């Protein structure tokens, strides 16, 4: 359940009352892991996987009602939206103006604010400056800025005053997030965060340290990330993110990544690394391509990288997103690290009794899902199947009832998997209209919102938790 999907009347889910109520619901339902999508700011396309910063928090998630309680906003200054899907354009047009009012009333000499800025200066100063310059240039990508700004050589100083606003937004986000996470942890709920392996080209990460990415002398991308054709897309997925220069990363003992991972484990208790396979081998697509059909597999940093992370951070809890067509080197890396991989039940119904995604074939050390944010809801997936495929699902499950989603959830709960994570849409048996994302499409994604009244399913979930001995 992503933060954006929480119910409320402010246009998008937030870190306020509804988030605390969701933790209470989880406790009532006997659930102990809350997985969210990346918490970073969104940009064009609204995807949390294409952000202007790998370390910043999304200002949209700042709860405005809490700011009224603090005297930073007035009640009549709060926007009212219908509880519907997220209208990102409307929220973008309104939200920063609303938060500007809070900024004007804020006492920037507060000790906790100064402490926050000092403790986070290693990323916050660059991020705030980047956003101030970006705003002043009509939100254009940094590679369209004047050359002095593009290369960070001249002209940046005059944007420093405006950068303070973006530092303030991060202070609000992290203050509210820390309070929510503490509440969840105190009630026995851990937060599972999602980390995109790549960062966006139009990001402070690339702008501030371009030498760590595969760019040419003019700072243009030479090759980009994606995956070849697979069961998600016939053309593959062309993500467009710049690839890392792993040799330069290795020369710094992966300092950039250590910083990123350390910050992630301040936000989350467990981190799911999206596209984990790229640490073993990654797909490099020429930057001028319009699809992902043409590319080259290259060797990633491998186990050495995770040895450094373990040395610097101890033994962090990591989930390896190891989906897709995998080479042997990827499977070996998952085994070497000992991290649990992922199993997706929707992929299990090909008639093969040894299908690794079918619940009876799971190993203990895995995380089982009905589907992820990139899949249809389980009800939507089943409804979209032809009659023959539906018959295969029913025959494989040995189930002829009406609620296939609930049946699959219960099968996962009864499996050998140490961990099961279920999208809220599947607990509620929602159709395709509640799907979070359709890969390789632009528009209409990331917008689902949960309606009020969802908590009535807590008792049924708790019964299943107890029945399957997952309490």
Residue 230 has pLDDT above 80, yes or no: no
pTM, entire model: 0.96
Residues 414-421 have a mean pLDDT of 98
Residue 220 has pLDDT above 90, yes or no: yes
What is the per-residue pLDDT for 234? 84
Phi/psi for 241 (5° steps) reads -70, 145
Residues 287-319: tens digit of each pLDDT: 999 999 999 999 999 999 999 999 999 999 999
- Cα 371 to chain centroid distance, Å, stands at 15
Residues 90-143: tens digit of each pLDDT: 999 999 999 999 999 999 999 999 999 999 999 999 999 999 999 999 999 999
Alpha carbon distance 429, 406 (integer Å): 7
SS3 366: strand
Residue 371 has pLDDT above 90, yes or no: yes
The Cα-based distances of 66 to 15, 160, 192, 331, 366 in angstroms read 9, 28, 24, 46, 38
Decide: 410 and 468 in contact? Cβ < 8 Å. yes
- DSSP annotation of 282 reads E
Residue 232 has pLDDT above 70, yes or no: no
Decide: 219 and 210 in contact? Cβ < 8 Å. yes
Residues 130-177: tens digit of each pLDDT: 999 999 999 999 999 999 999 998 999 999 999 999 999 999 999 999
What is the per-residue pLDDT for 397? 97
Alpha carbon distance 352, 396 (integer Å): 9
Task: Categorize the per-residue pLDDT at 441 as very low, low, confident or very high, splitting at 50, 70 and 90.
Answer: confident
Residues in a beta bridge with 341: 366
Decide: 86 and 12 in contact? Cβ < 8 Å. yes
- DSSP annotation of 187 reads T
Q: Return the active site residues.
A: 274, 321, 374
What is the per-residue pLDDT for 216? 97
The Cα-based distances of 17 to 9, 30, 65, 66, 219 in angstroms read 11, 20, 9, 9, 44
Residue 233 has pLDDT above 90, yes or no: no
Task: Categorize the per-residue pLDDT at 192 as very low, low, confident or very high, splitting at 50, 70 and 90.
Answer: very high
What is the per-residue pLDDT for 326? 85
Task: Categorize the per-residue pLDDT at 424 as very low, low, confident or very high, splitting at 50, 70 and 90.
Answer: very high
């Amino acid at each position: 359940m992503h933060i954006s999907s929480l119910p409320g009347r402010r246009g998008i889910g937030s870190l306020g009352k509804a988030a605390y109520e969701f933790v209470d619901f989880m406790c009532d339902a006997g659930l102990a892991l809350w997985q969210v999508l990346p918490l970073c700011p969104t940009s064009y396309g609204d995807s949390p996987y294409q952000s202007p910063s790998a370390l910043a928090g999304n200002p949209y998630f700042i709860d405005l009602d809490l700011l009224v309680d603090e005297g930073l906003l007035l009640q009549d200054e709060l926007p009212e939206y219908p509880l519907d899907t997220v209208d990102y354009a409307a929220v973008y047009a309104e939200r920063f103006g609303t938060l500007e009012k809070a900024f004007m009333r804020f006492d920037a000499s507060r000790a906790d604010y100064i402490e926050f800025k000092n403790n986070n200066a290693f990323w916050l100063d660059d991020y705030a400056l980047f956003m101030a310059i970006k705003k002043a240039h009509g939100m254009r990508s940094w590679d369209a800025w004047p050359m002095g700004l593009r290369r960070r050589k001249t002209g940046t100083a005059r944007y420093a005053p405006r950068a303070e606003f973006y530092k303030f937004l991060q202070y609000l986000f992290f203050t509210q997030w820390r309070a929510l996470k503490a509440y969840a942890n105190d009630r026995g709920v851990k937060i599972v965060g999602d980390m995109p392996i790549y960062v966006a080209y139009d990001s402070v990460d690339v702008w501030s340290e371009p030498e760590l990415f595969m760019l040419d002398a003019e700072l243009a991308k030479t090759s980009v990330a994606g995956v070849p054709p697979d069961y998600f897309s016939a053309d593959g997925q062309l993500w467009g993110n710049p690839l890392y220069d792993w040799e330069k990363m290795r020369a710094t003992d992966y300092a950039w990544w250590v910083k990123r991972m350390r910050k992630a484990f301040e936000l989350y208790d467990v981190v799911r690394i999206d596209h984990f396979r790229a640490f073993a081998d990654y797909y490099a697509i020429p930057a001028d391509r319009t699809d992902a059909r043409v590319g080259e597999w290259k060797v990633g940093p491998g186990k050495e990288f995770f040895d450094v992370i373990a040395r610097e951070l101890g033994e962090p809890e990591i989930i390896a997103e190891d989906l897709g067509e995998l080479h042997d080197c990827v499977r070996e890396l998952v085994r070497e690290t000992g991290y649990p991989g992922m199993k997706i039940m929707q992929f299990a119904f090909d008639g093969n009794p040894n299908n690794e995604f079918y619940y009876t074939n799971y190993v203990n050390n895995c995380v089982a899902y009905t589907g992820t944010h990139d899949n249809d809801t389980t009800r939507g997936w089943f409804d979209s199947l032809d009659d023959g495929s539906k018959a295969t699902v029913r025959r494989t499950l040995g189930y002829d009832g009406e609620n296939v989603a609930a049946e699959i959830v219960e099968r996962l709960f009864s499996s050998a998997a140490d961990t099961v994570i279920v999208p809220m849409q599947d607990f509620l048996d929602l159709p395709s209209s509640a799907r979070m994302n359709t890969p390789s499409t632009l528009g209409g994604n990331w917008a689902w919102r949960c309606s009020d009244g969802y908590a009535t399913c807590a008792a049924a979930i708790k019964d299943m938790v107890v029945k399957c001995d997952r309490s």
